[in-house]
Structures are given as C-alpha cells and as structure tokens.
Amino acid sequence: MIEVLDGFPDNVVAYVCHGRIDESDYTRVVADIVEKLDRHNTLRMYCEVAADYTGAGGDTAWQDWQSTFRSWFHWERGAIVTDVDWMRWATAFFGVLLPGQWRVFPPADKAAARNWIVELSAVS
C-alpha cells in the first residue's frame, strides 16, 4: 500500500510505502504526479519505505518505470528514507541519471529528509 502524505508544499509528491505495493497504488501515485505537473514545471518527491514494506509485483515495477519516464525531466529533488541496502544503491545509481538532486536518508533522519525536500521550495 502507498500512503499519500499531507502537509507538504503542492510541488511535492510525498508518500510512505507499506506492505505489498499493487497496481492500484501506482495508478494513484501516477495520477497525483500528472495532476501536480499540470500546476508545476518541476516536482519534488519524498518517499519513506516503512519497516513493513515487503515489495511490489512485476506489473507494479513496470508502472513505476513508466511514471519515471513520463516525468523524467520534471524532478527537482528527491528524498528516499530507507535502510534497505538495495534501495540505497539503486537511488545512488539512478539518481545520477535523473535530473535534480537525489538523496537517501536513514529512517532515524526522516525529519531531516522532510526539511531537505521542502527547503527553498518555490511553490507557484
């Protein structure tokens, strides 16, 4: 399940991944991204990976890639909060390929991640 978080500026897509992610979760997140891109040229992403996260199926991974490519040049900044090693490595690798700044924060530093993602956020 992907839980959408409130309390962030409008140009931030913010969520927490819990349990098993399915296609309906990605559909909801993609709709949120598209809606926000109608209002903003660039977006920021805040993503927490909860301790109960167990993964996503192949169809949802494909949805993730589609949403990434659809919004490829519109990312200004991204914060991933996780202690899962492969996610840390993937963010380091793909963060170089994506535009904008991408950082990984350990769960103990999620307040710092939230502050970093909204810092100097120009919401128009």
More confident residue, 120 or 119: 119
Whether the CB-CB separation of 81 and 117 falls below 8 Å is answered with no
Domains of the chain: 2-118 (3.30.750)
0.75 surpassed by pTM: yes
3-state class of 77 per DSSP? strand
Report pLDDT for 64: 55
Report pLDDT for 122: 56
Report pLDDT for 59: 59
How many alpha carbons lie under 13 Å from residue 47 in its C-beta half-sphere?
A: 21
Average pLDDT, the chain: 84
Alpha-carbon span 119 to 113, nearest angstrom = 10
Report pLDDT for 124: 42
Report pLDDT for 61: 53
Quick: pLDDT tens for 2-38.
Answer: 999 999 999 999 999 999 888 888 888 888 888 998 9
Of all residues in the chain, the percent with pLDDT exceeding 70 is 83
3-state class of 123 per DSSP? coil
Alpha-carbon span 75 to 71, nearest angstrom = 7
Alpha-carbon span 4 to 13, nearest angstrom = 8
Quick: pLDDT tens for 66-104.
Answer: 555 555 568 899 999 999 888 888 888 777 777 789 999
Buried b vs exposed e over 59-95: b needs ≥16 C-beta within 10 Å?
A: ebeebbeebeeebeebbbbbbbbbeeeebeeebeeeb
